[in-house]
């Protein structure tokens, strides 16, 4: 059974960058598609991007394009999400999750399991 | 761009049936997934591909999807079902995942 463990809470100043890690156990990262979703305090879920096995590339939500980078370190089975140019409204819990894609078709995508979440606070 | 709409809240008495809707243009042509999120916890999928349940999810959680509305039906509601519920689809036009705004279900 796949399990995801994320890095701890971060406090950053506006303009800084943050890099959140997501350690996979129970399977190898090479076999999985990891996606990232964030949730501002008291708000809903917002997809940021992830690996698309249909095109074999990482895709990003337009809102974050140019500001987010998602990478993987397969020897350590750890995925990373780095967000730059932080603003106070980037304050949120950031989740990694495994994307389930049926027969490699991205339109079937759903997410299970999820990491425990990482709170990123952006404040001067 | 494509939009998925959920009611902000629903209330239901224990033992009754709750229905949470997710509206979108021809959403019946998309795969809809549903997540349950309790306070301070990560979301958990309760229904995927419109109507399938992961192992461990009770049969009380039922999904359907037709026309412009997908529905999560929870029968014999229990106090432990109180949570936020989110629907999720893939928007092929913009190549991105979309979540509904979420519905807070209160068990009276």
The pLDDT of residue A105 is 87
Do the chains contact at B45 and A111, CB–CB below 8 Å? Answer: yes
CB atoms within 10 A of CB A18: 19
Q: What percent of chain A has pLDDT over 70?
A: 100
Work out the average pLDDT over B50-66. Answer: 97
Radius of gyration of chain B (CA): 13
Q: What percent of chain B has pLDDT over 90?
A: 99
Bridge partners, residue B44, by sequence: B36
In the predicted structure, residue B91 carries a pLDDT above the cut 90: yes
pLDDT digits (tens, 9 = 90+) for B1-31: 899 999 999 999 999 999 999 999 999 999 9
Mean pLDDT of chain A: 96
The pLDDT of residue A24 is 97
Preferred mutation among A45, A101, A103 to probe B, highest tally of B CBs within 10 A: A45
Chain A residues touching residue B102 (CB < 8 angstroms) = 44-45
Task: List CB contacts of A42: < 8 A, sequence separation 6 or more.
Answer: none
Chain B residues touching residue A111 (CB < 8 angstroms) = 33, 35, 43, 45, 88
In the predicted structure, residue B42 carries a pLDDT above the cut 90: yes
The pLDDT of residue A102 is 85
- For B43-99, the three-class secondary structure string (H helix, E strand, C coil) is CEEEEECCCECCCCCCCCEEEEEECCEEEEEECCCCHHHCEEEEEEEEECCCCEEEE
Going by C-alpha positions, the residue among B108, B106, B99, B60 that lies closest to residue B83 is B106
């Amino acid at each position: 059974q796949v399990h995801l463990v994320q890095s701890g809470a971060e406090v950053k100043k506006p303009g800084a960058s943050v890099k959140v890690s997501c350690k996979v156990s129970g399977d190898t990262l090479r076999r999985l598609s990891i996606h990232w979703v964030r949730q501002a305090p008291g708000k809903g879920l917002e997809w940021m991007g992830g690996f698309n096995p249909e095109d074999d590339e990482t895709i990003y939500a337009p809102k974050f394009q140019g500001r987010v980078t998602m990478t993987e370190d397969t020897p350590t089975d750890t995925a990373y999400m780095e967000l730059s140019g932080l603003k106070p409204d980037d304050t949120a819990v950031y989740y990694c999750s495994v994307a389930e894609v049926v027969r490699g078709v991205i339109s079937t995508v759903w997410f299970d399991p999820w990491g425990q979440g990482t709170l990123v606070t952006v404040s001067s | 761009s494509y939009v998925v709409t959920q009611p902000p809240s629903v209330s239901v008495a224990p033992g009754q049936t709750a229905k949470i809707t997710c509206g979108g243009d021809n959403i019946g042509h998309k795969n809809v997934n549903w997540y349950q999120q309790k306070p301070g916890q990560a979301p958990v999928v309760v229904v995927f591909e419109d109507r399938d349940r992961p192992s461990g999810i009770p049969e009380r959680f039922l999904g359907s999807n037709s026309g412009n509305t997908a529905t999560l039906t929870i029968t014999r509601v229990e106090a432990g079902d109180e949570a936020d519920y989110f629907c999720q689809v893939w928007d092929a036009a913009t190549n991105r995942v979309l979540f509904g705004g979420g519905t807070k279900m209160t068990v009276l």
